[in-house]
Chains A and B, each alone.
Chain A
């Protein structure tokens, strides 16, 4: 596989409620920002465009169609959409570059979760015959997972709180973060339980926002004359939907994707993990076999702000920008979808 360069990345602030701003208004600023970083004018200047979003956040069929309005797709463009996190839109674009049908691509993801009750809305992504009628929400599922881990002695509540404390502290340097600040493990553990054993801070916040990225061949990146990081490996895997058939204490599909993407082929300086719940960061660190030397979630991760459908792509963008800025040589980014980490995508990136 050829290396693919990430030349631009932008993300909006994670905000709890974007108010009257619609999806196009959320997307436009991040598109403008990546055009500026790349030195191009519009989506007309790339060979392919792909986005990720979810109709149910907007509560309307074809929610992504309005997104096309943000692109200036006149004359018509080569464009596609996944009903997934935009990290998978990146994957689709990466394939297009691998097959030689595109030299460059624009990827964006957006989500406005504020109009609905996201955890309950997402309960409708469960098996419609056996699980969805129970309205088990995402937090309840994650709580069961954390409970299993605590009972098996695989984690402690203090370790979960440590994840949160580090996220808030790291987020202090992230202008886009929604939750940040210095909190001690003791302070966190003194908080009441929310959905036992999870406390509110163990759960990611709900955010509105968008992010965008431009990728291209290495040749094109040189032509554009912009700094870049390269995707050395990328893979995604899914596992059974049935919670009862899975060992919830580990993430098999993350391990499989990590192996295929080549995570173990070198030291990992930086990792951004899409862990919407504190204990899931621990599961993912173990699945990726990250050492103590790896700086995990330097942005604060999604516990500091979680734009559904954009957060996965943002993890990849965060790592790429840090590598470009010289914060490390090699990084790993992870994206997830589905209840209790059912589906996972792993990207290995390198600085140039």
Chain B
């Protein structure tokens, strides 16, 4: 039987295009130290370190956890490195939680990072592989046709994506750590930005960021002794499906639906829109908000854009189910950390530690990440209540 576990400390770096002031080690150290400070702990209080990041080619360092051992105070301790594509930040948090939920460890540190300025993600994602068609498209080029299919099926208005791009940037302007700070952004500005991959415009795409995120996860006893408020992990789930197979539903992938169903069941959630107070969902391209609203059961199929357009997902418009109050991936995207930031921001909401982007009285929140060709999913539900 799984043991109870909770997030007792969260640490993030400031996200920006280039953190030239720190090395990779300095970057992860900063997030980890912030998490320890938040939990009022020291390095000696940590039993193991679980590290996640997206492909090693993003920095050109193979298995960087080997080199980061010293920076993460891990000498003599267990170190595990997770890599599950874009979902990795979320998957890493889930694997890290299992160190505690298994009863094998009492308190662990989990860290994820990306220092995108060290390399070029577009290149790293596009080098040709033997026996496979060469896309040279990057992530936006890969997802654009799927988005067009969503628009065709749902008859969504052309500006639903624009609305998300504005909403998440206005949220991000409330989060001092967010990379993009665009408090004055308008629908027109987004619409006038250059078209990158029809229908995605420049301002409808995530930035490339440097940054790291860390969490301390503790067992029930230690979480209760923790000086801050714990975010109890009420459910955690992962699902994978192949990139391509005959008949694959790419707009509303089954792996995402199954994963959501699993995590809701664990957390006792019947109606996600009603039972959750907010959600941090991996939306790297604007249109993925309406698409994931449907995939995650917040809206009926074909109706996700209606929620978006109504302001239901906007904190500033007083929506009933705010999505990505932190500004989301559209405001900060250190790829390997982006999933963990979603998980950590969900925890901060239920701990009441989200600052200016806090949802009043948030008790239960969803953290979500996806990766690959929208084929890898990780999700958790955290709550201020233990049961």
Q: Give the interface of A toward B (CB within 8 A).
A: 1, 22, 49, 54-56, 58-66, 68-69, 71, 73-84, 88, 91-92, 95-96, 98-101, 121-122, 124-129, 132, 235-242, 252-253, 256, 337-339, 342-343
Contacts and interface: CB of A to CB of B under 8 A. Distances in A.
Interface stretch (B36-44, B71-79, B143-151, B291-299): B71-79
Given A92-B98, A236-B78, A128 B55 contact: no
Contacts of B77: 237-238
Contact of B127 (A60, A77, A338, A342): A60
Contacts of A129: 23
B57 A125 contact: no
Contacts of B130: 22
B238 A78 contact: yes
A76 B258 contact: yes
Contacts of B69: 238-241, 342-343
B303 interface: no
11 contacts: A55-B56, A60-B128, A74-B242, A75-B258, A77-B239, A80-B95, A98-B103, A125-B66, A126-B66, A240-B70, A338-B63
B83 A81 contact: yes
B98 A96 contact: yes
B103 to A, nearest CB: 7
Contacts of A342: 66, 69
A132 B61 contact: yes
B285 interface: no
A239 B66 contact: no
B67 A241 contact: yes
Interface in B240-276: 240-243, 245, 248, 254-255, 258-259
A100 B240 contact: no
Nearest to A242: B70
Q: Of A84, A240, A256, A342, which is in contact with the most chain B CB atoms at under 10 Å from its CB?
A: A84
B78 A95 contact: no
Contacts of A78: 237-240
A68 B81 contact: no
- Nearest 9 pairs of A and B residues by beta carbon: A61-B55, A76-B255, A98-B102, A125-B62, A79-B240, A83-B83, A99-B102, A76-B241, A238-B79
Q: How large is the interface on B (under 10, 10 to 19, 20 to 34, 35 or more residues)?
A: 35 or more
Contact of A83 (B2, B24, B63, B375): B63
B241 to A, nearest CB: 4
A58 B55 CA distance: 12
Nearest to A83: B83
A237 B124 CA distance: 31
A79 B333 CA distance: 24
Contacts, number: 189
A122 B127 contact: no
Nearest to A56: B62
Contacts of B242: 68-69, 71, 73-74
Contacts of B75: 238-240
B3 to A, nearest CB: 7
B66 A338 contact: yes
B353 interface: no
Q: Of A64, A128, A342, which is in contact with the most chain B CB atoms at under 10 Å from its CB?
A: A128
Contacts of B31: none
Given A77-B239, A92-B95, A237-B77, A54 B67 contact: no
B120 to A, nearest CB: 11
B192 to A, nearest CB: 33
A219 to B, nearest CB: 14
Contacts of B59: 128
Nearest to B126: A61
Contacts of B248: 74
B24 A235 contact: no
B70 A122 contact: no
B140 interface: no
A99 B62 CA distance: 31
B99 interface: yes
A276 B322 CA distance: 53
Contact of A65 (B56, B85, B128): B85
Nearest to B59: A128
A69 B242 CA distance: 6
Contacts of A101: 2, 98, 101
B80 A241 contact: no
